[in-house]
Amino acid sequence: MENNKEYGFQTRAVHSGNGIDTATGAIQHPITLANSYVLPYDASAANWSDPNINIYTRNGGTNQKDLQNKIKDLENGEDCVVLASGVAALSGLFFAMLKSGDHVIFSSITYIAVYRLFNELFNNKFGVETTIVDVSDLDAVRAAIRPNTKLIHVETPGNPTLQICDIKALADIAHENGAFLSVDNTFSSPYVTRPVEFGADFVVESLTKYINGHGDSMGGAIIGKTEYLDQIRYQSQVNLGGVINPFAAWLIMRGAVTFPMRMQRHCDNAMAVARFLKTVDKVSFVAYPGLEDHKNHDIAVRQMEHGFGGVLSFGLKADHDTYNRVVSHLKLITSAVSLGHDGTLIAFIGEDDERQYLYPEEFHNGFYRMSVGIEDAEDIINDLKQAFEAEGIL
């Protein structure tokens, strides 16, 4: 099944991009590990770099294409390119869409690689002008626009402070000024927010996170119009080469089948954990867009459905060592980076994080980022409780 937009979200998660394998009759598409496909009768007439025909897996393999069809349907987008990781998708998008002399406005709260790409690499190596802006402040975004502004890039919720920005308002500002809006939707996932529906030109997902969902694979997707995605295929996939492995594409395809059900559980559990943390006196702050006291809770309610994602950040009224000791007492929750795994993960982000200066005041003394898993919420909360008790936090 290739185009399933008339079906509901969970049905698309099951069926889009999959179906009967015509060669064997198997009712699921197989993993095709071959890196080459047979050439036509007149091989010299074929465009060997055409990403739309099966010739060579770097130009696009069958498992990659299946996954693209699924993600495109889940995001309600026109087209999708899947690459080897979320960062390959981000850098592939920027590489294809930007040239020297263009100007980019990017959110002060973004994934670390985006910060480095725009604050260090694209500006210094390629002469792309870049400005860091608090994109939750629309006047600040308008003020930063230049005649050569080509792209506004944001993340909502932003990693790691859970900042929320208004996708529709930012898309309007971008379009009034002849620029594109790209949204990194990894924290929300398409079950919670589909930025295309709010006017975003490009959406990026780290498939490594919720869509694969089991912490055992990496991939990234760019969703947008075919007109532009063809440029990304040609420039960033075929010629930069950050192609996804067929096995990884198949694993993500498999994980994506249960993604809506898992995501609902992530959202519900994160809300329960956030509410629990709010009751603990020695928790200095809880950043979660589902909480009524989140600065942009109203925008979150408008552009997120089913819940508010599975990631939250929180601080303790405690010193650096206490943060580490609390983690050492955890029995169920694992200390690890990444997010969107089945199991709950926590990471202590210390006072010396290189982007600390861009975070709100309450984040400056260190904080935890927590990816709430799909276990029983009570067990996650009890694990936190016993670790807090061991350190006199509770």
Residues that bind ligand PLP (CB under 6 A): 85-87, 111, 155, 159, 184, 186-187, 206, 208-209, 218, 220, 339
Question: Closer CB to ligand PLP, residue 4 or residue 313?
Answer: 313
Q: What is the 3-state secondary structure (H, E, C) of the chain?
A: CCCCCCCCHHHHHHHCCCCCCCCCCCCCCCCCCCCECCCCCCHHHCCCCCCCCCCEHHHCCHHHHHHHHHHHHHHCCCEEEEECCHHHHHHHHHHHHCCCCCEEEEECCCCHHHHHHHHHHHHHHHCCEEEEECCCCHHHHHHHCCCCEEEEEEECCCCCCCCCCCHHHHHHHHHHCCCEEEEECCCCCCCCCCHHHHCCCEEEEECCCCCCCCCCCCCEEEEECHHHHHHHHHHHHHCCCCCCCHHHHHHHHHHHHCHHHHHHHHHHHHHHHHHHHHCCCCEEEEECCCCCCCCCHHHHHHHCCCCCCCEEEEEECCCHHHHHHHHHHCCCCEECCCCCCCCCEEEEECCCCCCHHHCCHHHCCCEEEEECCCCCHHHHHHHHHHHHHHCCCC
Maximum CA extent, the chain: 75
Name the region of 202 (left: φ>0; alpha: ψ -120 to 50; beta: rest): beta
Q: Which residue is nearest to ligand PLP (CB)?
A: 86
Question: Closer CB to ligand PLP, residue 102 or residue 205?
Answer: 205
Is the omega angle on the peptide bond into residue 157 within 30 degrees of 0, that is, cis?
yes
**Nearest approach, Cβ of residue 35 and ligand PLP (Å):** 22
**Nearest approach, Cβ of residue 270 and ligand PLP (Å):** 15
Question: Closer CB to ligand PLP, residue 326 or residue 349?
Answer: 349
Question: Closer CB to ligand PLP, residue 79 or residue 184?
Answer: 184
Question: Closer CB to ligand PLP, residue 131 or residue 159?
Answer: 159
**Nearest approach, Cβ of residue 40 and ligand PLP (Å):** 35
What is the C-alpha to C-alpha distance for residues 305 and 276, in angstroms, rounded to an integer? 22
**Nearest approach, Cβ of residue 204 and ligand PLP (Å):** 7
Question: Closer CB to ligand PLP, residue 105 or residue 339?
Answer: 339
Question: Closer CB to ligand PLP, residue 96 or residue 311?
Answer: 311
**Nearest approach, Cβ of residue 186 and ligand PLP (Å):** 4
**Nearest approach, Cβ of residue 88 and ligand PLP (Å):** 7
Question: Closer CB to ligand PLP, residue 88 or residue 326?
Answer: 88
Is the omega angle on the peptide bond into residue 160 within 30 degrees of 0, that is, cis?
yes
**Nearest approach, Cβ of residue 220 and ligand PLP (Å):** 5
**Nearest approach, Cβ of residue 368 and ligand PLP (Å):** 15
Question: Closer CB to ligand PLP, residue 186 or residue 344?
Answer: 186
Question: Closer CB to ligand PLP, residue 111 or residue 388?
Answer: 111
Q: Return the amino acid letter for 243.
A: V
**Nearest approach, Cβ of residue 224 and ligand PLP (Å):** 16
**Nearest approach, Cβ of residue 218 and ligand PLP (Å):** 5
Pairing type for strands 103-107 and 79-83 reads unpaired
